[in-house]
């Protein structure tokens, strides 16, 4: 391990610390830790710890680019909390206990397997949200394949917003010579290395970072029926989170319950507001502690990052529902996002038929990270089911009896 000190060309306001911190592990491979050195309310230096010898000049150049292009001109905006739970339940990080008791186990970076009582709890939370949107918004449920065409991500402008999260899927060329060479090299137990990629030129599929992209592709080129459309789906989602992966709160491989609203602007915004209130009531009924605030996505390495972040926060395009997980930490268990016409334009999704036929639709989505939701719940209620709210345990028991 070695430390590398990067002195900023010009100090940057300390208020930018959180936005800087959520990007630094993507700056260069080999970084295992970092510390922002702050004096008089400004960040002057960043001290990195690396697990291998790194080019200090190259690191400084990358950090300078990041801060000058994506951070320095960012407007500091005050926190805006739109809801707070009435309950204030103390939370304790229980990941160590989950591992000790054999309930959770790490299978790789950002990948955690788990058993009961978390499975029943996850199914319960998911089924409550699903039922809510089916009953209140007439949501139609779909199950999507795990793979998503790369072209769909391109149409979502994912490459220009979040290149750091991309996870490609590839395969060996269909060529007997390729298979024979592969067998010769690796069939005898040699460890697979990066050179295998020379025989895998395909990048036509990726792992999906979220479910709503599947929905936009599904409705591409269509006019919506009267009243618009509400779709819900649950599925595995994947984001390369580098060293930000932590316990069950930030995974490379996780499960999302997503709801997509498509229709007129007024209806979409009203649906988002209504659904947010329903989720606040649900969280309050569960006795969980948390809040909802205006948020922004971690846009990365593009010249319009500051513009995107300011727009998201100023126009309140994104709200995050955050729950306490102990030690003053919270985790975003869900978000409520208004897309304007961004996805509908890209996928040619038009408004309900009628006088405004042919006009591009508006859309919004809400997504819930189910592992995070479960984790926050057990950080607040513990692992002993007898301490959980009766409505939760009786619903889980009922579900098990039925199945």
Partner 1 sequence: MSVEDISQRVRDFLAPHFHGHQLGDGDDIFALGFVNSLFAMQLVMFVEKEFGLKLEPDDLEIDNFRSISAVVGLVDARADKVVP
Contacts with partner 1 by CB under 8 A lie at 75-78, 265, 304, 306-308, 310-317, 340-342, 359-360
Nearest approach in angstroms of CB 84 to partner 1 is 19
- Complex with partner 1: residue 85 or 335, whichever CB lies closer: 335
Nearer to partner 1, 204 or 316 (CB): 316
CB of 164 to partner 1, least distance (A): 21
Contact 317, 343 (CB under 8 A): no
Burial of 234 (0-12, 13-18, 19+ CB in 10 A): buried
Q: Which is nearer to partner 1, 85 or 312 (CB)?
A: 312
What is the nearest approach in angstroms of partner 1 to the Cβ of residue 222? 19
Measured from the CB of residue 14, what is the shortest distance to partner 1 in angstroms?
13
Q: Which is nearer to partner 1, 75 or 107 (CB)?
A: 75
Please state the closest distance from residue 77 (CB atom) to partner 1, in A. Answer: 5
- Using CA atoms, how far apart are residues 144 and 252, in angstroms rounded to an integer? 19
CA–CA distance, 71 with 60 (Å, rounded to integer): 15
Q: By C-beta, is 262 or 376 nearer to partner 1?
A: 262
Closer of 341 and 393 to partner 1 (Cβ)? 341
Residue 260 Cβ vs partner 1, minimum distance, rounded to whole Å: 18
| Strands 140-142, 229-238: pairing kind | parallel
- Minimum CB distance to partner 1 smaller for 62 or for 265: 265
- The distance of closest approach from Cβ of residue 75 to partner 1 in the complex, given in angstroms and rounded to an integer, is 6
Non-local CB neighbours of 198 within 8 Å, separated by 6+ positions: none
* Torsion over CA: 310, 316, 317, 321 (sign): positive
- CB nearer to partner 1: give 150 or 305: 305
- Nearer residue to partner 1 within complex by CB, 167 or 269: 269
Task: Tell me the closest approach of the beta carbon of residue 357 to partner 1, in angstroms.
Answer: 15
Distance between CA atoms of 33 and 47, rounded to whole angstroms?
8
Smallest distance, Å, CB 346 to partner 1?
Answer: 12
Distance CA 188, CA 179 (A): 14
- Angstrom CA distances, 370 to 82, 117, 119, 175, stand at 22, 14, 10, 41
How many angstroms separate the CA atoms of 198 and 219, rounded? 36
Instruction: State how beta strands 2-13 and 329-340 pair.
Output: unpaired
């Amino acid at each position: 391990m070695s430390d590398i000190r990067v002195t900023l060309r010009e100090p940057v306001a300390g208020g930018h610390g959180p936005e800087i911190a959520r990007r630094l592990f993507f700056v260069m491979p080999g970084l295992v830790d970092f510390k922002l050195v702050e004096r008089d309310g400004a960040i002057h230096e960043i001290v990195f710890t690396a697990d291998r010898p790194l080019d200090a000049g190259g690191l400084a150049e990358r950090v300078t680019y990041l801060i000058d292009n994506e951070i320095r001109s960012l407007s500091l905006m005050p926190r805006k909390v739109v809801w707070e739970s009435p309950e204030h339940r103390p939370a304790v990080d229980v990941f160590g206990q989950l591992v000790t008791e054999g309930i959770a186990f790490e299978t790789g970076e950002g990948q955690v397997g788990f058993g009961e009582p978390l499975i029943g709890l996850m199914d319960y939370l998911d089924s409550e949200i699903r039922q809510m949107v089916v009953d209140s918004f007439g949501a139609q449920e779909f199950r999507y394949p795990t793979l998503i065409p790369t072209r769909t991500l391109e149409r979502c402008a994912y490459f220009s917003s979040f290149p750091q999260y991309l996870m490609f899927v590839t395969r060996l060329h269909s060529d007997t010579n390729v298979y024979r060479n592969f067998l010769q090299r690796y069939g005898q137990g040699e460890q697979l290395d990066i050179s295998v990629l020379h025989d895998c030129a395909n990048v036509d599929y990726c792992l999906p970072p979220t479910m709503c992209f599947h929905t936009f592709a599904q409705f591409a080129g269509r006019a919506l029926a009267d009243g618009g459309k509400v779709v819900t789906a649950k599925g595995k989602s994947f984001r390369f989170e580098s060293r930000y992966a932590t316990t069950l709160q930030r995974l490379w491989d996780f499960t999302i319950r997503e709801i997509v609203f498509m229709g007129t602007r007024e209806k979409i915004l009203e649906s988002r507001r209504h659904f947010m209130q329903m989720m606040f009531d649900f969280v309050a009924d569960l006795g969980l502690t948390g809040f909802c605030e205006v948020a922004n996505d971690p846009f990365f390495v593009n010249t319009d990052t500051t513009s995107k972040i300011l727009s998201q926060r100023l126009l309140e395009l994104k709200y995050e529902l955050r729950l306490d997980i102990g030690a003053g930490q919270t985790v975003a268990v869900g978000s409520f996002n208004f897309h304007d016409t961004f996805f509908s334009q890209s996928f040619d999704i038009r408004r309900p038929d009628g006088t405004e036929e042919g006009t591009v639709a508006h859309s919004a989505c809400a997504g819930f990270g189910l592992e995070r939701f479960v984790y926050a719940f057990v950080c607040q209620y513990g692992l002993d089911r007898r301490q959980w709210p009766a409505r939760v345990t009786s619903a889980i028991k009922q579900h098990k009896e039925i199945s």
